[in-house]
């Protein structure tokens, strides 16, 4: 079985701890890489441009983060190498239930989905089924 | 007949009206002709001049007093109510004890004089003449012009009458002409005709019968175009009525300014509105100008000038300084009346005291501004707070759910610790919230003069351990006497936030140096906190810098609440906070306090 990689971009340590346990327990991914903000994740992705097999299959993205927010990260991805949006299933994973955020997410057609916290087993199974 | 003195020639036989009076104007003698002249019955001998010429007799008391000759033309009314003009000449006799008074009827001369004067005054007068014997109607050139018919137009009486507008106008002229023909009754009417070109026009038609041997053989008169005057007059009447209606109820004053004479008339309400005593008022334009608030004078005077120049009607609002010194908001509207060449003659207008409404308006607008600002703040606030609360609460529900599902495996203790941390964070968010709500509800507090330096020193004292540990050097270049408007807890909180930020975001490459100084401007005292820390990228983060829960460094301690609170507190003190910064060099925060 191939090793499935997942990027978790969120500055909330507690959430990341719980999410990682949940993800692994449901076998959504075998390897979870954590990033504090959009910039860290973007930099990590950039180093993998030439080795697409190393790219994560799934990226879970928080919106509210310092340095580079989730939106800013998406703007970078939008204009970046096509391989990112092709290879990676990107999900917004946020505590925001503001309708304007849901609406704004429609501006990024390459997004796989919009998940609101708390992250549940059902959410993970849904991602896994795709 | 009373003839006391036996002159050879008897006065009573004089063939003209003549009386002899004493100094009280009591009649001593009276010629027979006098009785006929004044239409007095033979049996009723007049005793006093008053009985002949009425109250006008008083004029001649002066003459008898001074023993001087006096000639006056006075008006009396005949028994048939016809006005007569009597030239009355009073001469003292040689003894100076009696006076001779002669009477002469000059009515014809006077009326002719009056008519010619009237003709001179009134322009655009034509004439016409109807000869009933030859059955012709003759129009003068001007009459034809007024009817807008060609010069060779030959009218007849029926046609002439049909020029009058159908309905009451034509009925009136018909009746007047009939009465003139049958009873020689003169007429003088203002009516509308419809000219040959179909235009409606106000005219004045005056007619008089020509009587020969008791028979009306024709009539003639004048015909005048009064359209412009009449329309102006009607417009004025309508306006007048409208104004009168408007005044009833509202506290409106009316003024009327005769521009040529610079005669300004105010009604009673005007004096009430401006709080001026009527006796103190100099009835001229300058009197109005002097009550207008100096700041509004230029505009108000310009509005008047524009109205006079016909650029726009006078319709403005200005403040007035009332007699008692208080300020009133006045709404002014006026209309300019002009002569035929368009020169302004009169300006008539209203003034209304709208102070109550205006003050309410200003208050409402201010309130609205505050509310709008507050509303935006609260929406933001609710958004941000709900996000943070949701973060913690969703973590708790997720962790506890996993515990229950046994997803946690053997890491139960770790999970409980995490739940505990999340609960603490939730508590912290709620306490932040409380802190912020406190600022926003103490918006209208009274400010005090606070000594800046002593507050600063106690703040530094309270974080002494942190200062020592970070090896920071803090220099205060502020005089001990400097005070600003504020409240102490806010200043303490703001200073604390700025200083701990400087320490938190100090550069790892150099010793932290914080300089606190002061700058003065006309209406502000500015306290500046300058540090040599890592700085903030303002281009990127400037707009969010004072937002709630916004952080700009990867520092784990950053909560994004300090500057948000500081900004709110400065706003509550009616001041503001500003920042200048460059990445890698340091930041300066400026606190602007109202003087």
- Rounded CA-CA distance B358/B329 in Å is 7
pLDDT value for B5: 46
Residue found under tokens 């300084």: B321
Residue B501 lies in a domain: yes
Q: At which of B353, B381, B413 does a domain end?
A: B353
Q: What is the rounded average pLDDT of the residues A85-96?
A: 91
Confidence band, pLDDT 50/70/90 cuts, at residue B279: confident
Q: Which of residues 423-482 of B touch A (CB under 8 A)?
A: 425
Which run of H or E residues covers position B504?
A: helix B488-504
Contact B396, B421 (CB under 8 A): no
Q: Give the dihedral sign, CA B366/B372/B377/B381.
A: positive
Q: Do A67 and B405 touch (CB under 8 A)?
A: no
Q: Does domain A5-129 have CATH number 3.40.50.2300?
A: yes
Selecting from A25, A95, A119 the residue whose C-beta is nearest the C-beta of B387 gives A95
In a 10 Å sphere around its CB, with 0-12 CB exposed, 13-18 middle and 19+ buried, how is residue B23 labelled? middle
Q: What is the pLDDT of residues B211-261, one digit of tens each?
A: 877 788 888 888 888 888 888 888 877 777 776 666 655 778 888 888 888
Residue B245 lies in a domain: no
- Rounded CA-CA distance B364/B589 in Å is 35
Q: At which of B296, B322, B353 does a domain end?
A: B353
pLDDT of residue B9 exceeding 60, the answer is no
Torsion of CA B63, B67, B69, B70, to 10 degrees: 0
pLDDT value for B1: 45
Give the CATH number, domain containing residue B410: 1.10.287
- B293 and B372 share one domain: no
DSSP B435: H
Residue B33 lies in a domain: yes
Residue B243 lies in a domain: no
Q: Which among A9, A18, A25, A92 is the top mutation candidate for probing chain B, defined by the most B β-carbons within 10 Å of its own β-carbon?
A: A18
Residue B508 lies in a domain: yes
State the pTM of this model. Answer: 0.46
- B491 and B540 share one domain: yes
Q: Is B378 in the A-facing interface, judged by CB distances under 8 Å?
A: no
Selecting from B418, B553, B560 the residue whose C-beta is nearest the C-beta of A18 gives B418
DSSP B165: P
Q: What is the rounded average pLDDT of the residues B41-62?
A: 83
- B155 and B19 share one domain: no
Q: Do B408 and A121 touch (CB under 8 A)?
A: no
- B433 and B499 share one domain: no
- In chain B, how many domains are there? 5
pLDDT of residue B121 exceeding 50, the answer is no
Confidence band, pLDDT 50/70/90 cuts, at residue A2: low
- Rounded CA-CA distance B256/B266 in Å is 7
The domain segmentation of chain A, as residue ranges, is: 5-129
- B26 and B66 share one domain: yes
Share of residues in chain B with pLDDT > 90 (%): 18
- B346 and B260 share one domain: yes
pLDDT of residue B442 exceeding 70, the answer is no
pLDDT value for B444: 46
Residue B389 lies in a domain: yes
pLDDT of residue B438 exceeding 90, the answer is no
Strands B263-266 and B252-258: antiparallel
Q: What is the rounded average pLDDT of the residues B34-58?
A: 83
Q: Is A10 in the B-facing interface, judged by CB distances under 8 Å?
A: no
Range of the domain at B393: 359-441
- B214 and B272 share one domain: no
- B456 and B546 share one domain: yes
Where in B1-82 does DSSP place strands (E)?
18-22, 27-30, 70-77
Q: What is the rounded average pLDDT of the residues B390-413?
A: 86
Residue B334 lies in a domain: yes
Q: Do A22 and B407 touch (CB under 8 A)?
A: yes
Give the CATH number, domain containing residue B509: 3.30.565.10
Q: What is the rounded average pLDDT of the residues B128-155?
A: 86
pLDDT value for B6: 44
Q: Is B60 in the A-facing interface, judged by CB distances under 8 Å?
A: no
pLDDT of residue B365 exceeding 80, the answer is yes
- Each as own residue / partner, the long-range contacts of residues B306-315 (CB below 8 Å, 24 or more positions apart, any chain) are B307/B334, B307/B336, B307/B347, B308/B259, B308/B336, B308/B344, B308/B347, B310/B336, B310/B338, B310/B342, B314/B347, B314/B349
Q: Which residues is B284 bridged to in the sheet?
A: none
Residue B230 lies in a domain: no
Share of residues in chain B with pLDDT > 70 (%): 91
Q: What is the pLDDT of residues B535-579, one digit of tens each?
A: 888 887 777 777 766 665 655 555 667 788 888 888 878 888 999
Q: What is the rounded average pLDDT of the residues A68-85?
A: 90
3-state SS class at B551:
coil
B62 or B21, greater pLDDT: B21
As a whole number, the mean pLDDT across chain B is 83
**Distance between A48 CA and the closest CA of chain B, angstroms:** 23
pLDDT value for B554: 55
- B588 and B452 share one domain: yes
Residue found under tokens 């104004």: B243
Q: Which among B383, B385, B402 is the top mutation candidate for probing chain A, defined by the most A β-carbons within 10 Å of its own β-carbon?
A: B402
Q: What is the rounded average pLDDT of the residues A8-36?
A: 91
Q: What is the rounded average pLDDT of the residues B363-376?
A: 83
- B488 and B579 share one domain: yes
pLDDT value for B2: 47
pLDDT value for B120: 46
Q: Do B395 and A14 touch (CB under 8 A)?
A: yes
Confidence band, pLDDT 50/70/90 cuts, at residue A110: very high
Q: Do A95 and B558 touch (CB under 8 A)?
A: no
- B340 and B397 share one domain: no
- B132 and B180 share one domain: yes
pLDDT of residue B93 exceeding 90, the answer is no
Closest alpha carbon to B129 in B189, B209, B219, B223: B219
Q: What is the pLDDT of residues B12-38, one digit of tens each?
A: 677 788 888 888 888 888 888 888 888
Share of residues in chain A with pLDDT > 90 (%): 57
Share of residues in chain A with pLDDT > 70 (%): 98
As a whole number, the mean pLDDT across chain A is 89
pLDDT value for B104: 87
């Amino acid at each position: 079985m191939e090793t499935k990689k997942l990027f978790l971009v969120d500055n909330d340590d507690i959430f990341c701890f719980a999410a990682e346990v949940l993800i692994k327990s449901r076998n959504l991914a075998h390897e979870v890489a954590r990033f504090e903000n959009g910039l860290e994740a973007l930099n990590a992705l950039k180093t993998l441009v030439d080795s697409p097999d190393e790219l994560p299959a799934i990226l879970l993205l928080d919106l509210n983060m310092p340095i580079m927010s989730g939106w800013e990260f998406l703007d970078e991805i939008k204009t970046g190498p096509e391989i990112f949006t092709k290879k990676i299933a990107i999900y917004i994973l946020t505590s925001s239930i503001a309708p304007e955020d849901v609406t704004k997410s429609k501006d990024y057609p390459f997004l796989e989905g919009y998940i609101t916290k708390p992250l549940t087993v059902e959410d993970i199974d849904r991602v896994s089924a795709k | 007949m009373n003839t006391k003195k036996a002159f050879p020639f008897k006065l009573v036989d004089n063939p003209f009206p003549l009386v002899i009076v004493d100094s009280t104007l009591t009649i001593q003698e009276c010629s027979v002709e006098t009785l006929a002249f004044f239409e007095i019955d033979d049996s009723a001998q007049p005793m006093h001049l008053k009985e002949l010429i009425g109250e006008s007799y008083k004029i001649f008391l002066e003459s008898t007093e001074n023993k001087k000759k006096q000639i006056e033309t006075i008006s009396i009314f005949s028994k048939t109510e016809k006005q007569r003009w009597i030239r009355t000449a009073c001469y003292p006799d040689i003894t100076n004890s009696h006076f001779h008074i002669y009477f002469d009827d000059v009515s014809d001369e006077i009326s002719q004089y009056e008519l010619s004067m009237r003709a001179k005054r009134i322009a655009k007068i034509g004439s016409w003449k109807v000869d009933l014997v030859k059955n012709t109607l003759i129009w003068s050139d001007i009459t034809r012009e007024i009817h807008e018919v060609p010069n060779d137009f030959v009218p007849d009486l029926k046609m002439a009458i049909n020029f009058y507008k159908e309905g009451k106008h034509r009925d009136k002229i018909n009746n007047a002409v009939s009465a003139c023909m049958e009873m020689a009754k003169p007429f003088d009417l203002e009516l509308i005709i419809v000219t040959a070109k179909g235009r409606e026009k106000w005219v004045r038609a005056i007619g008089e019968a020509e009587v020969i041997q008791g028979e009306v053989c024709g009539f003639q008169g004048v015909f005048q175009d009064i359209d412009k005057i009449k329309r102006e007059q009607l417009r004025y009447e309508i306006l007048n009525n409208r104004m009168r209606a408007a005044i009833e109820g509202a506290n409106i004053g009316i003024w009327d300014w005769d521009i040529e004479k610079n005669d300004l008339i105010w009604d009673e309400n005007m004096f009430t509105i401006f709080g001026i005593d009527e006796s103190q008022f100099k009835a001229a334009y300058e009197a109005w100008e002097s009550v207008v608030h100096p700041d509004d004078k230029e505009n108000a005077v310009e509005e008047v000038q524009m109205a006079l120049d016909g650029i726009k009607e006078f319709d403005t609002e200005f403040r007035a300084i009332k007699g008692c010194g208080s300020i009133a908001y006045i709404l002014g509207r006026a209309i300019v009346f002009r002569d035929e060449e368009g020169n302004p003659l009169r300006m008539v207008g209203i003034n209304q005291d709208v102070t109550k409404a205006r003050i309410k308006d200003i208050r409402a607008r201010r309130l609205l501004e505050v509310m709008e600002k507050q509303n935006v703040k609260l929406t933001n606030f609710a958004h941000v707070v709900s996000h943070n609360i949701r973060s913690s609460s969703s973590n708790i529900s997720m962790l506890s759910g996993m515990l229950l599902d046994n997803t946690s495996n053997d890491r139960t203790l770790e999970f409980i610790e995490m739940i505990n941390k999340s609960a603490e964070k939730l508590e912290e968010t709620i306490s932040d919230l409380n802190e912020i709500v406190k600022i926003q509800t103490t918006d209208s507090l009274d400010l005090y003069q606070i000594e800046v330096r002593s507050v600063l020193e106690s703040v530094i004292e309270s974080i002494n351990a942190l200062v020592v540990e970070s090896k920071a050097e803090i220099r205060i270049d502020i005089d001990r006497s400097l005070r600003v408007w504020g409240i102490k807890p806010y200043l303490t909180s703001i200073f604390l936030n700025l200083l701990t930020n400087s320490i938190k975001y100090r550069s790892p490459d150099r010793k932290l140096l914080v300089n606190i100084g002061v700058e003065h401007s006309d209406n502000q005292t500015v306290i500046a906190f300058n540090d040599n820390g890592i700085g903030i990228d303002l281009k990127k983060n400037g707009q969010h810098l004072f937002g709630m829960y916004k952080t700009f460094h990867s520092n784990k301690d950053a909560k994004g609440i300090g500057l948000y609170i500081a900004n709110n507190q400065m706003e509550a003190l009616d001041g503001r906070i500003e920042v200048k910064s460059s990445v890698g060099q340091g930041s300066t925060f400026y606190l602007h306090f109202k003087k």
